[in-house]
């Protein structure tokens, strides 16, 4: 087995996370939510073989960090680059059909040994980083041969045995699973990593599903990471976009199939190991968050919205009621509201700018990524945006990440977004924002 590279200590990962957060409420909020889930159902994390090959120390440190805060994921890994190299060394050509590796009998011992070695390498690295992990290269996926003539010994899971996973969770260990299946008569078969993850997710019904990749997310046509994908509204457009290649289409289709088996509150996060903590524990996240989602209604017509639900959302999100007559007096510019009325952005105009009057998101909607989806719609609509927030607002950390400038006066902070704009350019509208009357009742 190869020598372990030095892994960054868990403490360093924690310090990096906390340094990115201006208020500890975010991490406490997410920890509280995650701690209410059975630990073997907290998260399924899929790791590509390239990540194990290229960033083993960072991956191990990220997984050990989760355990340091009391969370125990189930990890499923592939081994694509390792298998390509091992099979090539053995004189076996790599062949794929519809994305699946053709696996003839002579390749099985090599696949078994290579995936087992990758499995043990990851387990050793997690332990080296201060975490606890259980090596489970086999024994979880029962499978049947899909198409012996075309694919050889490639299996499709028929049953997921969770006893080993549950035992590891009870011992406080992260289960590290390789994509090796076994038929009813005990023959080893190769199982595609995405197919294995989907079977495991169907059986476990986890709260979170995370794909760790080298790119850190799905990329748009400019090569930038897409921060949020709402399948209910975005899937068809993405599948028809000329810049979405076949590999990304397959990934989106696989994620959609996976999420169709899960509660609406579930999501898939795609990020890199170094950003795993930010993706899980901050509102802004780091990577691509994909949800089955719900539709976001965009409207300029107040009459098309349920005023009672809007005001109830504001009260629950801010802990205070809107002042009497708030909604009637509001001169609406644009509203972005989810079907469930659990997240909304409401804008007016101020001094020629779009002014964000309310960004209201319930806690559970943040966990589902609805707040991020609404924010994405908002900033697409208003690239030049100004808003204010009480200086004690715990969401200000997110606002500082998203703004291009900010200024504080007393109990208020005014933020703005817009390219090449500084305070001297917009001093008048900033002054107007500070002078606006409060719209929530005093405590």
| Residue 28: per-residue pLDDT | 63
Tell me which residue of 384, 383, 387, 409 sits closest to 399, measured CA to CA. 387
What would the pLDDT profile of 177-225 be if each residue is shown by its tens digit? Answer: 999 999 998 899 999 888 899 999 999 888 788 999 888 888 888 888 8
| Residue 280: per-residue pLDDT | 75
When pLDDT is averaged across residues 355-376 and rounded to a whole number, the result is: 85
Check pLDDT > 90 for residue 357: yes
When pLDDT is averaged across residues 33-53 and rounded to a whole number, the result is: 78
User: With bands split at pLDDT 50, 70 and 90, how would you rate the model's confidence at 7?
Assistant: very low
User: With bands split at pLDDT 50, 70 and 90, how would you rate the model's confidence at 22?
Assistant: very low
State how beta strands 296-299 and 288-291 pair: unpaired
Beta-sheet strand order (sheet of 180-182): 155-160, 141-145, 180-182, 188-190
Mean pLDDT of the chain: 86
State the CB neighbour count (10 A cutoff) for residue 137: 20
When pLDDT is averaged across residues 10-26 and rounded to a whole number, the result is: 52
Q: Which of 39-43, 133-137, 332-336, 413-417 has the lowest mean pLDDT?
A: 39-43
Q: For residue 381, give the 3-state DSSP assignment.
A: helix
Beta bridge partners of 100: 97
| Residue 36: per-residue pLDDT | 54
**Between 134 and 215, where is the model more confident?**
134
| Residue 350: per-residue pLDDT | 96
Check pLDDT > 90 for residue 276: no
Beta-sheet strand order (sheet of 208-212): 133-136, 174-178, 74-77, 43-47, 208-212, 267-271, 288-291, 228-230
When pLDDT is averaged across residues 52-70 and rounded to a whole number, the result is: 87
> 421 vs 397, 417, 426, CA distance in Å?
21, 8, 8
| Residue 124: per-residue pLDDT | 96
Q: For residue 182, give the 3-state DSSP assignment.
A: strand
Q: Which two tokens stand for residue 183?
A: 């038929």
Give the integer Cα–Cα distance in Å for 427 and 397: 23
What's the 3-state SS for 284-312? Answer: CCCCEEEECCCCEEEECCHHHCCHHHHHH
Give the integer Cα–Cα distance in Å for 156 and 308: 50
Q: How many Cα atoms sit within 13 Å of 118 on the Cβ side?
A: 31
Give the integer Cα–Cα distance in Å for 67 and 122: 15
pTM (2 d.p.): 0.68
When pLDDT is averaged across residues 16-33 and rounded to a whole number, the result is: 56
């Amino acid at each position: 087995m190869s020598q372990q590279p030095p892994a960054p200590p868990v403490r360093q990962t924690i310090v990096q996370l906390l340094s990115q957060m201006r208020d500890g409420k975010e991490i406490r909020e997410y920890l509280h939510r995650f701690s209410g889930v059975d630990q073997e159902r907290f998260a399924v994390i899929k790791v590509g073989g390239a990540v194990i090959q290229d960033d083993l120390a960072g991956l191990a440190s990220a997984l050990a960090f989760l355990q340091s805060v009391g969370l125990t994921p189930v990890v499923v890994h592939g081994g694509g680059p390792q298998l390509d190299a091992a099979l090539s060394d053995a004189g076996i050509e790599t062949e794929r059909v519809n994305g699946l590796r053709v696996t003839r009998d002579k390749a099985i011992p090599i696949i078994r040994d290579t995936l087992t070695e990758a499995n043990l390498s990851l387990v050793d690295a997690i332990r080296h980083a201060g975490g606890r992990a259980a090596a489970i290269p086999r024994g979880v996926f029962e499978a049947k041969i899909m198409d012996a003539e075309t694919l050889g010994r490639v299996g499709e899971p028929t049953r997921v045995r969770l006893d080993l996973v549950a035992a590891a969770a009870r011992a406080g260990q992260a289960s590290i699973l390789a994509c090796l299946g076994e038929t009813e008569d005990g023959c080893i078969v190769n199982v595609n990593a995405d197919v294995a993850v989907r079977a495991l997710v169907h059986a476990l019904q986890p709260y979170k599903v995370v794909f760790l990749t080298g790119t850190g997310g799905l990329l748009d046509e400019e090569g930038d990471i897409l921060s949020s994908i709402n399948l209910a509204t975005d899937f068809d457009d993405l599948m028809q976009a000329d810049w979405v290649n076949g590999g990304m289409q397959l990934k989106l289709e696989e994620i959609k199939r996976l999420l169709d088996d899960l509660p609406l509150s579930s999501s898939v996060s795609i990020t890199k190991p170094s950003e795993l903590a930010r993706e899980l524990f901050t509102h802004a996240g780091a990577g691509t968050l994909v949800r089955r989602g719900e539709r976001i209604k965009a409207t300029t017509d107040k009459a098309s919205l349920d005023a009672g639900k809007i005001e109830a959302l504001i009260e629950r999100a801010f802990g205070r009621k809107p002042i009497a007559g708030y909604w009637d007096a509001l001169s609406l510019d644009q509203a972005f509201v989810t079907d469930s009325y659990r997240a909304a952005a409401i804008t007016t105009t101020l001094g020629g700018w779009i002014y964000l009057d309310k960004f209201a998101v319930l806690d559970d909607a943040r966990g589902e990524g609805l707040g991020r989806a609404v924010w994405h719609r908002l900033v697409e609509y208003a690239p030049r945006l100004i808003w204010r927030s009480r200086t004690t607002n715990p969401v200000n950390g997110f606002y500082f990440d998203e703004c291009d400038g900010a200024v504080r006066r007393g109990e208020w902070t005014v933020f703005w977004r817009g390219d090449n704009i500084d305070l001297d350019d917009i001093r008048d509208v900033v002054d107007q924002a500070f002078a606006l009357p409060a719209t929530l009742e005093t405590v």
